[in-house]
Amino acid sequence: MKYFVLFSLFFLYLQQKSIAQNVDENKVVTVETFDYNYANGILKEITEDSVIIETINFGRLAFTKKNVRAVHDGVISRYFNHIPNSSVPYFVQTGISNGEANHYYKNYYIFGNEFNFGLTEKLNLTAGFETASLVFDSGNSFPILQFGTKLNLLSERNFHVALSSKYYFNSEGGIFMLSSPVTFGNKRTNFTLSPNYLNYDGSTEYTIFLNASIGLLNKSRFVVDYIRIDDETIVTPVIEVLFRSGFSLSLGAILAEDGSVPNISFSIPFGRWKKGFRKF
């Protein structure tokens, strides 16, 4: 075991040392972080513990070396590795926040619509509605609306904790849900355990939702939710494909105890992403 530890430490030392040795200062570089974010600019300095670049839009930025995966020469075109919908991969929320001005629209199974806004680096706001009741109930039922907030309480490299609230309602009543998602991993590959408190129809319920997101190829990942409410279990496995524009398409199935149906979902980023998010 001690040899494994020594080898790991030595490997990390060489990795950090190679960052300083392989990149010249005063040239255009792209900094890649362990969260699969990318920033490019003119390399100004590499210190013992930091990588410093000069960017066009945000001025001088300093990255802690322990958070830097690599420094690449030139501008690399891999911005799609940033996951714009990491806050909510499918339905179960993670402990990861959007980030300020990173917004996206998400569609669930054609009829579900949700807008997710990154108000600050830690605070998210969601709002949405469904149209299935208008189509299948001939407009007799008022569409279900939803509003929600999420506050990131803690965010380390591979550990994130948040507090989230959502309220679903129409003319017939509503459901209030309070959650505290805990996420292990980065924005692309992670596992989330989310304890939930639900209040609906005058009763309360405590349950746990699960989500797993696993990076597959450079542009895709496997996403699955496990949801159990009122003694009913729903599992939603999908394959998500992320395009360079930030648009993502998810195909899979909705599995329930009484059967399964095909599933399709997609998300469209806007806000800072559309203005060149991470292209400094």
pLDDT (tens digit, 9 = 90+) per residue, 57-78? 778 888 888 888 778 777 765 4
Q: pLDDT-based confidence at 82, cuts 50/70/90?
A: low
The pLDDT assigned to 176 comes to: 95
From the CA atom positions of the chain, what is the Rg in Å? 21
pLDDT (tens digit, 9 = 90+) per residue, 130-153? 988 887 776 667 888 999 999 999
The pLDDT assigned to 196 comes to: 95
Cα dihedral value 92, 239, 273, 125, nearest 10: -10
What integer is the mean pLDDT of 177-201? 93
Q: Are 274 and 267 in contact (CB under 8 A)?
A: no
d(CA 29, CA 130): 45
Q: Does the predicted TM-score (pTM) go above 0.85?
A: no
